[in-house]
Structure 1
Amino acid sequence: MLLCRLSAVSRRVARWGPCSTRGNTLLHPALSFNSSRCQHVSSEGTVVQPEASQGPGKYSHSVLLPRTEFPTKLSGQKLLDREIQIQQECGFDALYAWQRDRKANKAFCLHDGPPYANGDPHVGHALNKILKDIRNRFEMLRGRQVHYVPGWDCHGLPIELKALGELGTAGLTPLQVRQKAREFAEGAITRQRAAFQRWGVMADWDNCYYTFDGSYEAAQLKVFQDMHSKGLVYQDYKPVFWSPSTRTALAEAELEYNPEHMSKAIYVTFALSTVPPKVAEVAGELGSISLLVWTTQPWTIPANQAVCFMPNTQYSIVKRADSSQLLLVATDRVASLTTLLGTELESVGTFTGAQLEGGVCCHPTIPGKEVPLLPANHVKMGKGTGLVHTAPAHGMEDFTVATDFKLPVECLVDEDGRFTELAGPELHNQCVMTEGNDTVISMLKAAGALVKEEPCVHSYPYDWRSKQPVVIRPSKQWFIDITSLKDKAKEVLAKVRVMPESARGSMLAHLDRRPYWCISRQRSWGVPIPVFYHKETREPLINRHTVSHVAQLFLEKGSDCWWELPLASLLPPEVLQKSKAGDVTEYERGEDVLDIWFDSGTSWAAVLEESNPRADVYVEGKDQIGGWFQSSLLTSVAVQKKAPYKALVIHDFVVSEKGDKMSKSLGNIVDPDTVINGGEDPSVSPAYGADVLRWWVAKSNVFSEVQIGPAALASARDNINKLRTILKFMLGNLQGFDPRTQAVEPKEMRHIDQYLLHLLRNYSMKMTDAYSDFDAGRATRLLQGFITRDLSSFYFSVIKDRLYCDPENSSGRRSCQTVLAEVLDGVTRSVAPILPHLAEEVYSHTLGHEVGETLFRSGWIKSSPVWRRPGLEEVVEGACAIRDSFLSSIHGRNAAEYELTIEIEPGLLFELMESLQEEPSSSYSQLTELMMSSRTTLTSALPRDISADALISQGSFLINLEGGVIREDSAYQVAAVPTSMARCPRCRRYTSESPECPCPRCQAVLNPAL
């Protein structure tokens, strides 16, 4: 046989398409008959004369229809009860500990980014936690020891605000604030943890990590000390994002940018009091010249210390046609300004920015104050005038200019966002963002410096907690020097796999625009910065001795001891002595706490295994690009000179089915608890269970906005029910089959059965790759394609007759059952990471394993290289190509009503088809089974007396063997004629001599003694 000589096979250039069922049903049709004239011999050997009274269905008892208690659908309370029962019986709560205790050659660490403990679980949590769990369950199934410790971010202002409500902090001590905040956080954690468990997330839920635990806080301080000792942590007076609404400094990651913020943009003149030497010749006798400046923050004008220009840009002096006023602006902005001012601007002199050096201007609101013209690279030409008003106290780039040129940094704004006395009596105590802004504009107008005022809608930073705008103001804070870490961070980030890769640019952009990181907060609910201040000099006392001592106290007592213990316990004599400091009475403890991004950013040090604090992957939403991903990277690079992760998976946010952000006001919030348990009206909000929620996560493209709503959830439920139908078919046909004793060896199987094992092997490898690539969506598509195309539409339609009507213990039927058992096992295991409840339910209905054994303790898909046989694809796919030509010629009619004559010239294809049918003509060969016809004749030439009503179809099949060494494009013809055979009253195939008598195969089944 040809199969025995072939050593290697490559796939056809074009894979045959899905095979049509052409009217075949999944289950055997009901058996009913009008009469029978043939004899039937009973199993006892007696001849039974058929009687008309025996009538319909008299052979039905001999047909082996599927039998199983596995339900096609579960809904309502039955579904919910079944999922809970599975979690309990299959030990979901003990699975993580079990896999940690077993021996494993490889480990897999997914470090859990801590969700914030400030509210109820939501669909964003579901997306994140389930996505992680799918990967963890896959890794555990394939034999790896999974390290996954869930955690919570427990500190910070949002928790403090929610805990205190309308009470605020007035009259409360720090310890009272902390107690209320802790209680609130613990309540949120309890609710979230219960939800995560209900979703089937695998973890040791009794041993999670919390950022308010003393052990975690001690590890955090150890990182802080390491960074401080390297000079990366320092105290300084510089501009920071400041939230007047919450009276604290903020880091970049704590900001939300409101794209609809409305500002009052103004164009202001700064009269040139000292003309730059290199411009004097150009200016000549032109007269008074003013620099035109644009800003969207008029309130910062009183703090102005300079006007900046771009050295390499061209500038022009222009004359207004309506007033003859001379204005100095960037040449590139003249056209836009002409339109804006509504007058022609005539250029009367042009020069480069570098020629502006040495110029001095008059401050527009402070008489007698002069400010210099200075070069700066941050000046942009896309908006404004090409000249930038510079207030070092209220701008990061402005502060850099002040540092370079030693300008004064005068802060005129207090912690409440109001002008101080230094701003003058006209502005004192006014809110800078509202009435203070208006007053400054009025002052500019009165001084004749206001050229134009207009509303400006632009993106502006808001406090992510209070949802109120922030200001930039200088404050004495603690900072981390990002500049010193930036190059190394970029270097290690280049070695990290980022999914999607497009997010890498955002990570780098965040690094580039952060020269420093403000890590101090003026709150009570957090980890205290372990610093002491000298009462007179205000010099900070902080070193490895002081921090190590405080860290040990936090480990033993928790950080509340910072307020509970006397100063002498926090700063004992031996620590003072080692620090070469004075008496304890000379000091007082600091009141600031650490930024919560530093809290969570040190989780790698507190949670990961000490021997190798580096995770295989971090998985979080895209908001963490500037948050946890960034803070973790910076702290890890600072301490251990490497990233704390090998890969980053960055998913998008959940939105409504219309693509809108979810909000209570829009009424489009989807509560995961309602998804699982249903709402008040089941017809509107049915109970879907946890697996539907998990399927929705897996099916979604998590790298773009993830939509959820009734349609998405109903689709997920329907997908699972279709899968249940396929699983039920296999379970029903495996009733009583034990693969341990009744399985057939692959080499003894029929070719189509071997072929299915071959497809199963390919499927299992693709599924493994999909999960390994963190692509659960691809896994769901592979699953649906396999069960729909390869199983339901192809294999099941071909084998039903053999399953139902062959003798129960025949080799052909056992061959098919062996394949069904392997396929059922492979499909169940392949979907288990996504649908653990369904997988365990199916597993409980199968034979072949010990009683009480669960799927998740029994491993990943089992496939054998033996299943890939040389030449197997060509045999079955060649037959399917011929069948497709035949089916297309009968236009949807029942293939079983036709006899086929297949003509193939002698050659490889003929030999392949001969392996499916050795005799010239047969009704029971493997070739006929694949054709689903009444009878098939294989010949090298069509007979001359072929029927005139024969339907002729033709085609060719490319055979490609041994890596292309053997190639043959073989032509074939198929002649289909209506069969002359009668329909068998038992198997319903057209293989009987008369409609009353079973066909020879069925007679042999009914009377095995003959």
Structure 2
Amino acid sequence: MLLCRISAVSHTVARWGLGSRRGALLHPALSFNPSRCKYASSTGDVAQPSSTPKTGQYRDSVLLPRTEFPMKLNGQKLLDRELQIQRECGFDKLYSWQRERKAKKEYCLHDGPPYANGDPHVGHALNKILKDIRNRFEVLKGRQVHYVPGWDCHGLPIELKALGELGTSGLTALQIRQKAREFAEGAIARQRAAFQRWGIMADWDNCYYTFDGRYEAAQLQVFQEMHGKGLIYQDFKPVFWSPSTRTALAEAELEYNPEHVSRAVYAAFPMATLPPKLTSVSEGWGSVSVLVWTTQPWTIPANQAVCYMPNAQYSVVKSADNEQLFLVAAERIASLSAVLGRDLESVETFAGSQLEGGVCQHPTIPGKTVPLLPANHVTMAKGTGLVHTAPAHGMDDYSVATHFKLSVECMVDEEGRFTELAGPELHNQSVLTEGTATVISMLQAAGALVKEEQCVHSYPYDWRSKQPVVIIPSKQWFINTASLKDKAKDVLQKVKVMPESARASLLAMLDKRTYWCISRQRSWGVPIPVFYHKETKEPLINKHTVSHVAELFSEKGSDCWWQEPLETLLPPEVLKKSKAGAVTDYERGEDVLDIWFDSGVSWAAVLQETDPRADVYVEGKDQIGGWFQSSLLTSVAVRNKAPYKALVVHGFAVSEKGEKMSKSLGNVVDPDVVINGGEDPSVSPPFGADVLRWWVAESNVFSEVQIGPNALNSAQENINKLRNTLRFLLGNLQGFDPRSQAVDSKDMYYVDQYLLHLLREYSMKVTDAYNEFDSGRVIRLLQAFIARDLSSFYFSIIKDRLYCDPEDSLGRRSCQTVLEEILDGVTRSIAPILPHLAEEVYQHAPGHEEGETLFRSGWIKTSPVWRRPGLEEAVEGACAIRDSFLSSIPGRNAAEYDLTIAIEPGLFFELMESLQEEPTSTCSQLTELMMASRTTLLGELPRDLPPDAVTRTGSFLINLEGGVIREDSAYSVAAVPTSLCRCPRCRRYTAETADCLCPRCQSIVGQAH
């Protein structure tokens, strides 16, 4: 036989008709109707008994599926069953078990800490389930998973929620901290309980918390290492300041409101001294004003300069309706003419570099002059090409002031109001409201207001209070990210990013951050371990002071910063090593660390000391400028490497309409309601945890992830379809023990071997998909395998053999062996996604001891011997012939036909001959694949075909050994209505007379009696 002759040949085959061969098949073989356990047609409809009284006579001799595995679980039964599975299968012990077992490799997924400021939501579900799917896959693969859940516990939002309407009035720092801790602990308890209910695998008694003393001590050690390298410093410079919450903010704590409306102005700064280089061309100009545009008129009193772009062209222009002259960028003239509603005529054009040495009169402060200065941040996208510069209120402005040694004068307090320095007209006015109006009035009174307009633009808001922020200078602690950025970009190139498109955003966010303000003026956080000299205000901070404070935090927690006397925090031996004076000369600092620094150092506090680098971080896209970046910068600062080998960046959970979820819109989906149901079960039925997990797995997590009734109902429907397939498999494995009754693959029917080959392909593709965090592809592969390879193809073919062959026959045991492998492979393949269903199936599956659990028994087991040379060609060649046969009898029952197949001698004939050795058969493997009454295999079609014969021709390409063996073989098929009768037991057209059993069924029934 050919399969034996070419057993050593490696090959590929050009597949023919794989889609069509698995299409709907008309076949009278018995199928399993789960709801009634009776004879049914292949479409699943219950077959009607014929008029022959013998119809039900042989029913007991047919081996129909039997299983106690329920077809559906709904309502409270579903919830009870999931909780029962969690208990019986030791969900709470799995993490500890796998940590204790021996494993060659470890897989570390470092958990980004969710914020402990509220109830669990679907964003948590998306994130935690996505992580758990990967962790469970790694456990099944035999790796030792390192996954420690954690919570971000400090920060202003928790402080504000904890205090509610009490505010901080009259409360000490320790009282505020106590209330904040209690609030955070309550939120953590609720979130932890939800995560456990979702089936998240972890040691929930050993999580990490950023308010834990040991965590805080590790954080201070990182702080000290960075400070020792000069990367952390104190300075007086502009920061984002939130007047609504009275604290400095980092870039990551901002939200940009694209609909913010500002009162923008075009203001004239009269030239007090013309640039020397323009002396020769300025004769006759008279009075010239530099025209600037700003969306923040309140900053004009703090103006110290006007900046220009040296390489651009500038013009002095004249307004057609008067003799007023303005200095503007040449390329902005046309736009300005339109905006101002004036025709602007160019008088003279020159290079920006020629503006050097020019001096302007300040428009609102009589007698004050400001210089014209070159700057790289000037752009031509908007405005006039000349930028009003207030070093106290802008990052770029501050850089100019540093370079040219300008004054950084601030006239705004922490409440966002003008101070006395601004003068009596502005004093105590809010800069963003009445202060802006007053400044505009002052410009108008001075004749400097050229135009006012409403400007809708993107403006930074405090991420918690949702109120606009301002930029003001403040004495704060900073990380010099400018010196870290190049190294951070370099190590980021070695990090795998999924999706790859997120890498550009990571790099862009790094570029935007020139420094990072890490001090906050709050009580609930890790105190910055610094002492200030009472007279000089000089900070005392070094490795001796920080290490001592870290030890105290590790032992007592950071509350001791406020609880302990200064002598405990700053003992004599530390003062001596620091070469400082007496303890009475100092006072403790009151600022706390930014929570992004808190969470950003988690790699140092949580990951294993041997190599504190995770295989992957998995978080939402908002962490591109948050935790991903703070972790990267702190790790690069201390260790010159990234804390992660890979990043997975997922989207946000949104409503089914794609809208952001909000209580006001009424579109919030509560994961607790998804699992347990709402007040009205008809509106919000209980779906259980696996439906929530399926929703996560099925979604394209790299974009926005929609959730709502349609998505959840679809998930439940798909799980129920999967249950039915698994139930069919379990039902047909009743009484089968693979440990003693399995058939060796080389002795199996070819179609059975072929399914093992397809199962191996499926398992390899599924494994690849899990490795790529693509559980959506896993589900698509699963559904395709079930629908195409199993339901429409294999199950249709094997039902006759499975139900009607002798129980212990080779053909039936061959089939059951494959069904058990399929059941095992499919169950394991979906286990990371649906752990409750997978363990439930495993409890009913044959071949293992009672009490064993799936997650302790490994990944899909396949064998390379399942891919036998010539196997694909034999089965797929037969399928190509069957496609031709079925196309010749559209809408008719294939089982009512005798089929003659004619193939010229050669490889293809030998392949078909291996499926049917005798010329004509009603029970060969070839007949089974054709699903016909009987099949005849010849070298050519007979000449005396009956007149009602239907013929078709076709060809099949055999391609072996990479094309070395290649044969395109022609074939012909002739279908003739069979002369045989329908057997009352198996319902195949294989009986000699209508009231007699076919030979096979006679033998089986005879043996039974």
Same fold (TM over 0.5): yes
Q: Confirm whether residue 526 of structure 1 aligns to residue 525 of structure 2.
A: yes
1:232-251 maps to which residues of 2 (within 5 A)? 232-251=231-250
Note the C-alpha offset of 1:348.
Answer: 1.0
SS class of match (1:1007) = helix
Note the C-alpha offset of 1:107.
Answer: 0.3
Q: Which residue of 2 aligns with 1:89?
A: 88
Give the residue type in structure 1 aligned to 2:494. Answer: K
Give the residue type in structure 1 aligned to 2:498. Answer: M
Q: Which residue of 1 aligns with 2:426?
A: 427
1:879-958 maps to which residues of 2 (within 5 A)? 879-958=878-957
Q: Which residue of 1 aligns with 2:784?
A: 785
Give the residue type in structure 1 aligned to 2:434. Answer: E
CA distance, structure 1, for counterparts of residue 323 and residue 908 of structure 2: 94
CA distance, structure 2, for counterparts of residue 890 and residue 352 of structure 1: 85
SS class of match (2:14) = coil
CA distance, structure 2, for counterparts of residue 22 and residue 852 of structure 1: 40
Q: Which residue of 2 aligns with 1:840?
A: 839
CA distance, structure 1, for counterparts of residue 256 and residue 479 of structure 2: 23
Q: Which residue of 1 aligns with 2:581?
A: 582
Q: Which residue of 2 aligns with 1:99?
A: 98
Residue 696 of structure 1 contacts residue 716 of structure 1 at CA under 8 Å; is this kept in 2?
A: yes
CA distance, structure 2, for counterparts of residue 712 and residue 806 of structure 1: 43
Q: Which residue of 2 aligns with 1:609?
A: 608
Q: Which residue of 1 aligns with 2:128?
A: 129
Structure 1 unaligned blocks of 5 or more: 37-51
Residue 360 of structure 2 contacts residue 370 of structure 2 at CA under 8 Å; is this kept in 1?
A: yes
CA distance, structure 2, for counterparts of residue 325 and residue 956 of structure 1: 89
Give the residue type in structure 2 aligned to 1:828. Answer: T
Q: Which residue of 2 aligns with 1:666?
A: 665
Between stretches 21-30 and 269-278, larger displacement belongs to 21-30
Give the residue type in structure 1 aligned to 2:847. Answer: G
SS class of match (1:412) = coil
1:400-419 maps to which residues of 2 (within 5 A)? 400-419=399-418
CA distance, structure 1, for counterparts of residue 94 and residue 658 of structure 2: 37
Residue 236 of structure 1 contacts residue 478 of structure 1 at CA under 8 Å; is this kept in 2?
A: yes
Give the residue type in structure 1 aligned to 2:236. Answer: Y
Between stretches 563-572 and 438-447, larger displacement belongs to 438-447
Which whole-Å deviations, capped at 9, do the CAs of 1:279-317 have from their partners, x for residues lacking one? 222322121111111111111111111111111111111
Q: Which residue of 2 aligns with 1:168?
A: 167
Q: Which residue of 1 aligns with 2:35?
A: none
Note the C-alpha offset of 1:242.
Answer: 0.4
Q: Which residue of 2 aligns with 1:284?
A: 283
CA distance, structure 2, for counterparts of residue 306 and residue 11 of structure 1: 76
1:70-89 maps to which residues of 2 (within 5 A)? 70-89=69-88
SS class of match (1:17) = helix
1:541-560 maps to which residues of 2 (within 5 A)? 541-560=540-559
CA distance, structure 2, for counterparts of residue 305 and residue 891 of structure 1: 88
SS class of match (1:188) = helix
CA distance, structure 2, for counterparts of residue 33 and residue 506 of structure 1: 67
Counterparts in 2 of 1:533 and 1:434: CA distance versus 1, 3 Å: same
CA distance, structure 1, for counterparts of residue 800 and residue 632 of structure 2: 61
1:22-171 maps to which residues of 2 (within 5 A)? 22-24=25-27, 26-27=31-32, 28-29=39-40, 55-171=54-170
Give the residue type in structure 1 aligned to 2:147. Answer: Y
Which whole-Å deviations, capped at 9, do the CAs of 1:441-489 have from their partners, x for residues lacking one? 1111111111111111111111111111100000000000101111111
Residue 23 of structure 2 contacts residue 788 of structure 2 at CA under 8 Å; is this kept in 1?
A: no
Q: Which residue of 2 aligns with 1:47?
A: none
Alpha-carbon RMSD: 1.2
1:602-751 maps to which residues of 2 (within 5 A)? 602-751=601-750
Residue 17 of structure 2 contacts residue 880 of structure 2 at CA under 8 Å; is this kept in 1?
A: no
Note the C-alpha offset of 1:1009.
Answer: 7.5
CA distance, structure 2, for counterparts of residue 548 and residue 34 of structure 1: 90
CA distance, structure 2, for counterparts of residue 265 and residue 596 of structure 1: 34
CA distance, structure 2, for counterparts of residue 921 and residue 351 of structure 1: 99
SS class of match (1:991) = strand
CA distance, structure 1, for counterparts of residue 80 and residue 667 of structure 2: 28
CA distance, structure 2, for counterparts of residue 545 and residue 461 of structure 1: 39
CA distance, structure 1, for counterparts of residue 528 and residue 1004 of structure 2: 85
Task: Tell me the TM-score normalized by structure 1.
Answer: 0.97
Note the C-alpha offset of 1:533.
Answer: 0.2
Give the residue type in structure 2 aligned to 1:524. Answer: S
Note the C-alpha offset of 1:13.
Answer: 5.3
Note the C-alpha offset of 1:854.
Answer: 0.2
CA distance, structure 2, for counterparts of residue 15 and residue 578 of structure 1: 82
CA distance, structure 1, for counterparts of residue 251 and residue 192 of structure 2: 29
CA distance, structure 1, for counterparts of residue 444 and residue 944 of structure 2: 107
Q: Confirm whether residue 874 of structure 1 aligns to residue 877 of structure 2.
A: no
Note the C-alpha offset of 1:15.
Answer: 6.0
Q: Which residue of 1 aligns with 2:1006?
A: 1007
Counterparts in 2 of 1:31 and 1:476: CA distance versus 1, 3 Å: closer
Residue 21 of structure 1 contacts residue 797 of structure 1 at CA under 8 Å; is this kept in 2?
A: no
Note the C-alpha offset of 1:324.
Answer: 2.5
Note the C-alpha offset of 1:1008.
Answer: 2.3
Residue 238 of structure 2 contacts residue 472 of structure 2 at CA under 8 Å; is this kept in 1?
A: yes
SS class of match (1:744) = coil
CA distance, structure 2, for counterparts of residue 880 and residue 225 of structure 1: 71
Residue 282 of structure 1 contacts residue 350 of structure 1 at CA under 8 Å; is this kept in 2?
A: no
Residue 8 of structure 1 contacts residue 871 of structure 1 at CA under 8 Å; is this kept in 2?
A: no
Residue 55 of structure 2 contacts residue 985 of structure 2 at CA under 8 Å; is this kept in 1?
A: no
CA distance, structure 2, for counterparts of residue 578 and residue 35 of structure 1: 105
Residue 17 of structure 2 contacts residue 879 of structure 2 at CA under 8 Å; is this kept in 1?
A: no
Note the C-alpha offset of 1:12.
Answer: 1.6
Give the residue type in structure 1 aligned to 2:459. Answer: Y
Q: Confirm whether residue 960 of structure 1 aligns to residue 959 of structure 2.
A: yes
Note the C-alpha offset of 1:31.
Answer: 6.8
CA distance, structure 2, for counterparts of residue 335 and residue 900 of structure 1: 84
Residue 16 of structure 2 contacts residue 956 of structure 2 at CA under 8 Å; is this kept in 1?
A: no
Which whole-Å deviations, capped at 9, do the CAs of 1:780-826 have from their partners, x for residues lacking one? 11111111111111100110110011011100000000000000000
Residue 16 of structure 2 contacts residue 876 of structure 2 at CA under 8 Å; is this kept in 1?
A: no
Q: Which residue of 2 aligns with 1:43?
A: none
Note the C-alpha offset of 1:947.
Answer: 2.2
CA distance, structure 2, for counterparts of residue 617 and residue 746 of structure 1: 39
Between stretches 508-517 and 733-742, larger displacement belongs to 508-517
1:477-516 maps to which residues of 2 (within 5 A)? 477-516=476-515
Residue 31 of structure 1 contacts residue 56 of structure 1 at CA under 8 Å; is this kept in 2?
A: no
CA distance, structure 1, for counterparts of residue 614 and residue 817 of structure 2: 41
Note the C-alpha offset of 1:862.
Answer: 0.4
SS class of match (2:991) = coil
Q: Which residue of 1 aligns with 2:36?
A: none
1:325-404 maps to which residues of 2 (within 5 A)? 325-404=324-403
Q: Which residue of 1 aligns with 2:795?
A: 796
Q: Which residue of 2 aligns with 1:2?
A: 2
Which whole-Å deviations, capped at 9, do the CAs of 1:138-169 have from their partners, x for residues lacking one? 00001000000000000000000000001111
SS class of match (2:476) = strand
Give the residue type in structure 2 aligned to 1:272. Answer: M
Q: Which residue of 2 aligns with 1:45?
A: none
CA distance, structure 1, for counterparts of residue 51 and residue 583 of structure 2: 110
CA distance, structure 2, for counterparts of residue 779 and residue 32 of structure 1: 39
Residue 618 of structure 2 contacts residue 649 of structure 2 at CA under 8 Å; is this kept in 1?
A: yes
Residue 31 of structure 1 contacts residue 986 of structure 1 at CA under 8 Å; is this kept in 2?
A: no
SS class of match (1:273) = strand
SS class of match (1:515) = coil
Give the residue type in structure 2 aligned to 1:545. Answer: H
Give the residue type in structure 2 aligned to 1:685. Answer: S
Q: Confirm whether residue 599 of structure 1 aligns to residue 601 of structure 2.
A: no
Q: Which residue of 2 aligns with 1:219?
A: 218
Give the residue type in structure 2 aligned to 1:411. Answer: C
CA distance, structure 1, for counterparts of residue 663 and residue 407 of structure 2: 48
Between stretches 539-548 and 960-969, larger displacement belongs to 960-969
Note the C-alpha offset of 1:34.
Answer: 5.3
Note the C-alpha offset of 1:893.
Answer: 2.1
Counterparts in 2 of 1:891 and 1:417: CA distance versus 1, 3 Å: same
Structure 2 unaligned blocks of 5 or more: 33-38, 41-45
Aligned length: 993
